[in-house]
Structure 1
């Protein structure tokens, strides 16, 4: 009897082990399938774009109120050298007093669309260019230097800016709409409404208004952000810092240089994208160069750096959040 029980127990134990092994194999197969999907040629090419876009959208959601204040600062006192000088706090108080706290998030839909297009493209192109340059350099027994990183950043920024200009234009129009007299406001309800309204009243080509300074700004910003981020990470590689700490430090360095190089172009871009035709059909600024000349003459050279503190507080955390999220997603999906 005891032998029979022993046999039954052994059989049951064998069945349990077989069942556990089957489950383990099934889990391994599922993980392998997921891993194989992530490593398909299509996904390997798409992941830099997906990770970059996700990082940019997270950062924009966090930074949007600061961006709103930055735009209002740039548009204040247009055409006059003297007059009241608004501060970030006074602008914020004015926005809140005129409506409600959520008005600081005006244009968020346009900001998210812009990130979905622009940041997806610029980080995706940058990673793609860097991978190509790295492979080529290794094949020649070399390492890529700052010049290659700068070239990749400039190229990625320019291409992405052309693609994302309509969303960027819609964002500026939505954020500046509240500065107009009530009777002249468009009262855009969403980024789609803004894009349709602009295209209908001004023509499709109007969606690329300010494209020249937008492209130059993007190239300057990417040069400061991506080239210096990549260079700083490389320089910090041999330090005692952990990989996460290196990413944080490199993104802080990148945020400063991105702000410094891009603010004058961002200022001109905002002015050009905000302008609309007068009743006689004329525009305040004829081109990017004309805008630079008129602002320098009428408002002074320092006006191009008005709101640098606000811009830095907007750009640096945005750059840091974007790069950290994208870097983390790149690590997870490696």
Structure 2
């Protein structure tokens, strides 16, 4: 059930955030000063291409989030069941942290490393693919190859051809540690905020209001990134610009943090707020109906 609720949350999150990603990508690719800012970019896209253009690339984005959240939520629930006390059914704080960490490790190995980390190392993107296929990056800029990527499947094939199947998991170790830490912090924080703010305990059949889940999800969504996210992003950007041989955009760590925040803002907390708002509703209704026998 957790996997289903997570996948549904992913669909809603993708639908809500895709316009933001499209606008962000257009601004990043704008080298001629066509757009004067976020609002101007959005209005220009709507006027010239129609409102639907803001949702270009939604299908691969939604599919990606659906699979990722289904795996994250489902594996976390599975790990929690293994850590629960056989007599009381309660789970310790240590067990909750370990469950979240395990879910993050599994997510990193199955989805994040092969499908995110390798394809998003460099900030230079193919304009067409970025707008149509959720920011698929040009792989040849990393390896000085003579071809451009035609999509994520083609990109995976080229990496395997050049580096072997294990090439898809290059850099897995730091990604595993980052994701494990992120999810351990996020799941633990979400449960803590539910208890502290709303007196909601896992499995009690109580269904939080969507806005309550969004508050808890937003706060929990900041826990992991605060620990590891900013430095991971900055490290990746600085490494990418040093290898690309192009113009130097970031003059150091502090400048990179300020620039990335100004240009891209914060995305993880709002996304987690949306996902949890949906997931909690689905999970809560299921618990009331099938575990507690209460009418929906």
TM score, norm. by length of structure 2: 0.64
Give 1:196-211 correspondences, 5 Å limit.
196-203=153-160, 204-208=165-169, 211=172
Q: Deviations over 1:131-175 (max 9, x none)?
A: 332344836xx7522x43332222211211221134335874899
Structure 2 residue corresponding to 1:168, chosen from 110, 116, 140: 116
Give 1:126-145 correspondences, 5 Å limit.
126-136=76-86, 138=88, 144-145=92-93
When residues 138 and 124 of structure 1 are mapped into structure 2, their CA distance, relative to the original with a 3 A threshold, is same
Name the residue aligned to 2:98: 151
User: Secondary structure at the residue paired with 1:177?
Assistant: coil
* Residue 315 (structure 1) aligned with residue 268 (structure 2): yes
* Residue 251 (structure 1) aligned with residue 217 (structure 2): yes
Compute the RMSD of aligned alpha carbons. 4.6
The number of residue pairs the alignment matches comes to: 256
Q: Higher relative CO (CA 8 A, sep ≥ 6), structure 1 or 2?
A: 1
Structure 2 residue corresponding to 1:232, chosen from 193, 199, 209: 193
Name the residue aligned to 1:89: 38
TM score, norm. by length of structure 1: 0.58
User: Secondary structure at the residue paired with 1:126?
Assistant: helix
Q: CA deviation at 1:284?
A: 4.5
Structure 1 residue corresponding to 2:232, chosen from 265, 273, 277: 265
When residues 156 and 309 of structure 1 are mapped into structure 2, their CA distance, relative to the original with a 3 A threshold, is farther
Q: Which has the larger radius of gyration?
A: 1
**Contact 2:83–2:91 under 8 Å retained in 1:** no
Of the structure 1 ranges 219-228 and 152-161, higher mean CA displacement relative to structure 2 is found in 219-228
Of the structure 1 ranges 305-314 and 51-60, higher mean CA displacement relative to structure 2 is found in 305-314
When residues 223 and 208 of structure 1 are mapped into structure 2, their CA distance, relative to the original with a 3 A threshold, is same
* Residue 177 (structure 1) aligned with residue 144 (structure 2): no
Name the residue aligned to 1:330: 283
**Contact 2:56–2:132 under 8 Å retained in 1:** no
Of the structure 1 ranges 255-264 and 149-158, higher mean CA displacement relative to structure 2 is found in 255-264
When residues 87 and 51 of structure 1 are mapped into structure 2, their CA distance, relative to the original with a 3 A threshold, is farther
Q: Deviations over 1:109-147 (max 9, x none)?
A: 3322321221111111112222332344836xx7522x4
Name the residue aligned to 2:15: 61
